[in-house]
Amino acid sequence: MTATTAQSAPSDDTESTYARACRLIETELGGRRLAPEPRTWLDDLAHTRRHKTAFITAVWNTCFPSSVAEACWVVEAVYPHLNPDGRCTDAALTAAWNILEPNAGTWPEQLQNERRRFTNNCVTRALAEANTAVADHA
């Protein structure tokens, strides 16, 4: 008995190893792909950069920082405190509060509470916008 390999289409050099293996399995066994190509560390890095850029833009548009640099500082301070699903935690909101309102300790308590709620709403809304922007362009 002789085994032959059916070639469905010529292989091009831009096709990934994963895609070539899937094509061979599809051709030889009549199978189909159940999962997309695995992500690489470079894909994750690109996704993180897109998300941070969208988050900076959203912070700039919704939280009223004093400068774009301050919006960047907010994102860098908040990012390590996001939960695994990319949602705000209390630590993330506190980090944003400390950058956006550095002199809040001198304010009356009622004003601090009002401004903190406002800041929390702004950061939460900015994060939701960033998540949506990245999901829409994935």
pLDDT at position 84, please?
A: 83
**Distance separating alpha carbons of residues 119 and 88, to the nearest angstrom:** 12
| C-alpha pair distances (Å), 82 with each of 35, 49, 92, 101, 124 | 27, 15, 6, 20, 11
The encoded tokens of residue 90 equal: 């209390």
Structure tokens at 131: 């998540």
**Dist. CA 100–CA 11, nearest whole Å:** 54
pLDDT-flagged residues of the chain (< 70): 1-13, 31-39, 41, 136-138
- Identify the pLDDT of residue 129: 92
For 84-113, the pLDDT digits (tens) are 888 888 999 999 999 999 888 899 999 999
Q: What is the pTM of this model?
A: 0.67
Give CA–CA dist 47/51, Å, rounded.
6
